[in-house]
């Protein structure tokens, strides 16, 4: 098998998670470098998300390789961006930019939302979105999602919204919903015209230029395809139709190619992943090898996965293409027990389930020797209450824990809200007085000795948000004696350190750019002993993400404001005095975050491998693509295990080439898609469990409602089959 993988010119390698596909792909890269003496810059590794390229980066750094150029490990989006920048003089006129001689400004998710938000707000003020109950930030994200899906699938905007109209059910509200979609189409067109007028390149326009201009230009296409001679395309099932078609067109020009496909994957369907089209790439390779056995999944997982497939009407394995497929090895039918562990006693209320989970984790760590980093606590959604309950209880028992919720808005995180509030207190020129409740939350998060009650008392006494107030924190020694005693003098000393730092910053004649402010206050105060971010990995990660985000926003939105003393500072940053436009850029960034904007993807959030219990939504865990010894599935009776997020302005399945253009989306289609998503989710989680899965059950959910959801029903049916 190993020689087949290494020596086949074009190979399609498939199998379940844990079968060794990525390991084989890494060995192929090393073999090309060592044995075939291929230059590193002639090898391209394409992955759907930067974090999935980490195994390749680590292997290349740790191996003894010949000196020379580096192997490029990147994403299709990064490849498209570098191509657009390289071929800009040729691509800009063909793409329709008003000033093709002007250098492009590439937008990330956050800066794209900033430009779109004004168009959405104007339409909302005119009542054009009254037919749907949705926050402005979610309208922005869904309209942008339609732009992205249209570009990735080669749809025009008119065709994309025409497909969406098929999802509107008939009834008295049908006309109103159709009008909302037409408003979304108009806003999308206005946004595209804004980009063309101002030389702004968001993700959708970047992919459209790459696919429809650069790849259709014979000179550009030939130059790009000749840049690399060997390709590794990993996690092909998680890639978009556009990326898969790029690889299909590239294959005849390559000396060798390895396409890696996870048969149980496709978790990024909501981001445009197209597993069926990825599997069709096997037709364009010389050989297909299918690995059967998972070296990661717990004993008994194979039989359990088979029962899950039968329970939802699926098939364990698909038919083979005769004469083109080679089996690497068979997977034994393991029947030595199920990895699923039901609780030894039933729980009536939600807090009892959480307490049982923490007790079980403590037993695993302290009595059975399981490392905290080998435990994942998963739920369909991780609310603030659930996250706080788990983190605080585990901390009380000296068990490290961390959480990751990438789909949450930046301002939903307490650490981010703390930094935004402190930024408002430090920049009086913004004329933004945060409410007293936000100051209380900031003090609670920033000062380690404070609990919510004492933080509220301190904020009540030391800060006023009334009209005419100066927005300055009062010195601790000037507070009433009873307040000082309630807060405690130990906490007061730490509070004074923060207050004096803010006062000193406000007294400076030159303010720092906002991203440097975040870095300074974190490094000089909040991360120090006695302050709330000290030895808190989650807070440090969020502070780093916020600083990076603010810096990228400044570069993309306020570039013209960064000339300092008659010249540009290196990399767009400097310590000189800020112009008024720079200060406005900082204020605009705070407005964007407080509006509920989603954060862009920052690699450190995905790649930190702390020895800590990992708490996350189930799909977030799957997209990290790593296994653990033990998983806890909480809230098993909840409907959220198979429900899609309410998205009245977009639809991940209809905006796909796998869906017929003129077919309406009905209830039966929704049920079928939910069943398939639940099946894939369960199989993916089981494949990533080396030992056991503990089920967290409670008769009543977090909101006090009785729970009898589809996951619980499916598990009961599977148990009956045993």
- Chain-centroid distance, C-alpha 241: 19
b or e along 50-74 (b: 16 or more beta carbons within 10 Å of the residue's beta carbon)?
bbbbbbbeebbeeeebeeeeebbbb
| Contacts of residue 86, Cβ cutoff 8 Å, sequence gap at least 6 | none
Helix (H) or strand (E) holding 617: strand 613-617
Structure tokens belonging to residue 464: 């006023």
Residue labelled with tokens 């059975």:
368
For 660, other C-beta atoms within 10 Å of its C-beta total: 10
Residue 582: per-residue pLDDT = 63
Block residue for tokens 């990525």: 22
pLDDT for the residue 642 = 86
pTM of the model: 0.86
Check if the beta carbon of residue 340 is closer than 8 Å to that of residue 298. no
- Rounded Cα distance between 369 and 347, Å, is 26
Single out the residue of 142, 153, 141 nearest to residue 661, CA to CA.
153
Q: What share of the chain is helix, strand, coil (3-state, %, to 5)?
A: 55, 10, 35
Q: How many helices (H) and strands (E) does the chain have?
A: 28, 17
CA 711/CA 722 separation, integer angstroms: 17
Separation CA 651–CA 641 (nearest Å)? 18
Q: How high is the pLDDT of residue 303?
A: 86
Low-confidence stretches of the chain (pLDDT < 70) are 1-8, 172, 313-337, 467-469, 509, 558-582, 600-610, 720-722
Name 441's bridge partners.
none
Q: What is the pLDDT of residues 632-653, one digit of tens each?
A: 999 888 888 888 888 899 999 9
Give CA angle at 463 (460, 466), nearest 5°.
95
Pairing of β 563-564 and β 567-568: antiparallel
**402-430: pLDDT as tens digits:** 888 777 777 888 899 999 999 999 988 88
């Amino acid at each position: 098998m190993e020689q087949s993988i290494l020596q086949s010119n074009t190979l399609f390698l498939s199998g379940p998670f844990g079968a060794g596909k990525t390991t084989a792909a890494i060995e192929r890269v090393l073999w090309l470098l060592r044995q075939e003496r291929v230059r590193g810059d002639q090898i391209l590794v394409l992955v759907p998300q930067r974090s999935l390229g980490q195994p390749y980066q680590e292997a290349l750094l740790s191996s003894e390789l010949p000196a020379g150029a580096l192997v490029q490990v990147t994403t299709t989006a990064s490849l498209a961006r570098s191509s657009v920048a390289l071929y800009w003089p040729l691509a800009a006129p063909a793409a329709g930019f008003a000033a093709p001689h002007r250098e492009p400004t590439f937008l990330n998710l956050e800066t794209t939302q900033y430009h779109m938000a004004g168009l959405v707000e104007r339409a909302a003020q005119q009542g054009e979105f009254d037919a749907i109950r949705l926050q402005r930030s979610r309208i922005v994200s869904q309209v942008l999602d339609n732009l992205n899906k249209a570009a990735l699938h080669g749809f025009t905007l008119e065709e994309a919204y025409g497909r969406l109209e098929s999802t509107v059910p008939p009834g008295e509200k049908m006309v109103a919903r159709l009008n909302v979609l037409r408003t979304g189409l108009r806003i999308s067109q206005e946004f595209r015209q804004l980009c063309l007028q101002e030389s702004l390149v968001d993700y959708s326009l970047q992919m459209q230029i790459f696919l429809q201009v650069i790849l259709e230009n014979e000179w550009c296409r030939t130059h790009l395809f000749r840049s690399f001679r060997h390709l590794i395309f990993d996690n092909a099932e998680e890639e978009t139709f556009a990326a898969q078609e790029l690889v299909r067109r590239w294959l005849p020009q390559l000396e060798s190619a390895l396409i890696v496909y996870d048969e149980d994957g496709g978790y990024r369907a909501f981001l445009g992943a197209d597993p069926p089209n990825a599997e069709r790439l096997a037709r364009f390779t010389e050989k297909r090898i299918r690995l059967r056995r998972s070296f990661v999944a717990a004993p008994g997982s194979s039989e359990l996965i088979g029962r899950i497939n039968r329970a939802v009407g699926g098939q364990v394995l698909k038919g083979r293409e005769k004469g083109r497929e080679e089996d690497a090895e068979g997977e034994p039918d393991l029947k030595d027990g199920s990895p699923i562990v039901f609780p030894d006693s039933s729980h009536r209320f939600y807090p009892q389930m959480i307490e049982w989970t923490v007790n079980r984790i403590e037993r695993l760590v302290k009595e059975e020797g399981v490392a905290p980093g080998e435990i994942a606590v998963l739920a369909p959604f991780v609310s603030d209450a659930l996250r706080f309950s788990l983190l605080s209880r585990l901390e009380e028992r000296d068990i490290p824990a961390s959480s990751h919720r990438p789909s949450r808005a930046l301002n939903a995180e307490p650490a981010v809200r703390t930094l935004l509030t402190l930024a408002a207190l430090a920049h009086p020129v913004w004329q933004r007085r945060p409410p007293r409740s936000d100051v209380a939350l900031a003090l609670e998060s920033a000062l380690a000795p404070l609990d919510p009650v004492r933080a509220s008392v301190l904020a009540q006494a030391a800060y006023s948000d009334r009209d005419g107030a100066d927005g300055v924190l009062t010195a601790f020694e000037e507070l009433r004696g009873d307040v000082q005693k309630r807060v405690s003098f130990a906490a007061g000393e730490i509070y004074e350190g923060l207050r004096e730092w803010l006062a000193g910053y406000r007294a400076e004649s030159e303010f720092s750019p906002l991203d440097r402010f975040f870095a300074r206050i974190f490094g000089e105060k909040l991360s120090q002993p006695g302050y709330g971010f000290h030895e808190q990995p989650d807070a440090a990660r969020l502070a780093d993400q916020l600083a990076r985000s603010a810096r990228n926003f400044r570069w993309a939105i306020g570039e013209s404001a960064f000339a300092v003393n008659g010249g540009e500072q290196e990399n767009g940053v400097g310590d000189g005095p800020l112009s008024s436009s720079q200060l406005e850029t900082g204020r605009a960034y705070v407005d964007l975050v407080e509006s509920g904007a989603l954060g862009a993807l920052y690699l450190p959030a995905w790649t930190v491998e702390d020895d800590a219990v990992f708490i996350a939504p189930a799909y977030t865990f799957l997209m990290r693509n790593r296994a653990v010894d033990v998983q806890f599935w909480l809230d098993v009776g909840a409907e959220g295990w198979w429900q899609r997020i309410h998205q009245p302005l977009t639809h991940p399945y209809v905006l796909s080439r796998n869906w017929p253009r003129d077919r309406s989306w009905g209830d039966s289609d929704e049920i079928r898609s939910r069943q398939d998503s639940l099946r894939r989710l369960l199989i993916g989680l089981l494949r990533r469990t080396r030992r056991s899965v503990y089920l967290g059950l409670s008769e009543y959910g977090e909101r006090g409602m009785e729970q009898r959801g589809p996951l619980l029903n499916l598990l009961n049916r599977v148990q009956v089959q045993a």
